Copies of this chain bind each other. A is one copy, B any other.
């Protein structure tokens, strides 16, 4: 299986590296004696390293100098040909504009959206994390589907997908006959990835779900119920039905 991670400037670090930690464990024989043969790529706008920090000119009030910078393996213009599962993190770099003061967003967001639109037909699964769902919504991928997203950004992101039924009380949502996985904010992406790994790989020779083998390696307090979402309540959000 070929997993790939989309990155762009100011992606959210745990959106990306919670799910990829699960893949590390899936492929590591110490954690997982039935370790799986995985190919992994990191795809972005160019081959220069990409930072999680604010991009130049960002008018938002972000003064944090906390950033990590990641090396890429492929570009949106020359991606690997055989990606099975594409992971799309959110982050302030995904927009929408309202997160940066209302009339500005980082350059290149449309290129990410176009990449998702181009890739989706040939994927086995798409997994969005946090406001990565907003990128998929803008690509039209969520039209006519159920989906979820970050609960603190709920109004801003759900507005990007007027043809989508946005499910509020969901740590993640599976749609499009098991092809489309959208998760709530940040950490929810890791629970969704564990559920997706169970969906793809099932149980090992000992009858244990691969997701459970991995959560032991990660010492992850796993959420099994996709509707167990305290953050819907703490943010007081409700479903947003698709508009006709």
Residues of A within 8 A of B (CB): 3, 12-14, 16-18, 20-21, 23-24, 26-31, 35, 37-40, 42, 49, 52, 60-71, 92, 99, 150-152, 184-188, 216-221, 223, 230-231, 234-235
Contact = CB atoms under 8 A, between A and B. Distances in A.
A68 B17 contact: yes
A14 B22 CA distance: 9
Contact of A69 (B24, B70, B223): B70
Contacts of A26: 64, 66
Contact of A152 (B24, B27, B216, B221): B216
22 contacts: A12-B24, A13-B21, A17-B17, A21-B186, A26-B66, A27-B62, A27-B66, A28-B92, A30-B152, A31-B152, A37-B63, A38-B64, A40-B66, A42-B68, A71-B71, A150-B219, A152-B216, A152-B217, A185-B217, A186-B220, A187-B218, A188-B219
B27 A49 contact: no
A235 to B, nearest CB: 8
A39 B67 CA distance: 9
A92 B30 contact: yes
Contact of A24 (B30, B52, B71, B230): B52
A9 B23 CA distance: 18
A29 to B, nearest CB: 5
A49 B64 CA distance: 22
Contacts of A151: 219
Given A17-B17, A27-B62, A187-B221, 7 more contacts: A13-B20, A23-B66, A38-B64, A185-B218, A186-B217, A187-B218, A221-B221
Contacts of A231: 216, 219
A219 B70 contact: no
Nearest to A22: B14
A143 B68 CA distance: 32
A218 B189 CA distance: 10
Contacts of A24: 12-13, 52, 64, 66
